[in-house]
Copies of this chain bind each other. A is one copy, B any other.
Amino acid sequence: MDAAESLCADRRLRLTPVRRRVLELLLAAPKAQGAYDVLSGLNRDAPPRQPPAAYRALDFLVAHGLAHRIERLNAYVACASPGSTHRPAFLICRACDRVAETPDLTPDRLKREADAQGFRIEATVVEAVGLCPACAP
Question: Which residues of A are in contact with B by a Cβ distance under 8 Å?
Answer: 70-72, 87-96, 98, 100, 105-110, 114, 117-136
* A108 in contact with B110 given A128-B121, A135-B93, A136-B118 (CB within 8 Å): no
Query: How many copies of this chain are found per oligomer?
Result: 2
B126-A125 in contact (CB<8A): yes
Which B residue sits closest to A96, measured CB to CB?
A: B135
Q: By DSSP majority rule, is chain A's interface helix, strand, loop, or mixed? A: mixed
What are 6 A-B pairs at a CB distance below 8 A?
Answer: A94-B129, A95-B132, A110-B126, A117-B132, A118-B136, A127-B127
A132-B119 in contact (CB<8A): yes
Partner of A136, one of B88, B120, B135: B120
B126-A130 in contact (CB<8A): no
B94-A126 in contact (CB<8A): no
A3 → B minimal CB distance (Å): 22
Partner of A122, one of B89, B96, B130: B130
* Cα-based distance from A134 to B94 in the complex (angstroms): 12
A128-B110 in contact (CB<8A): yes
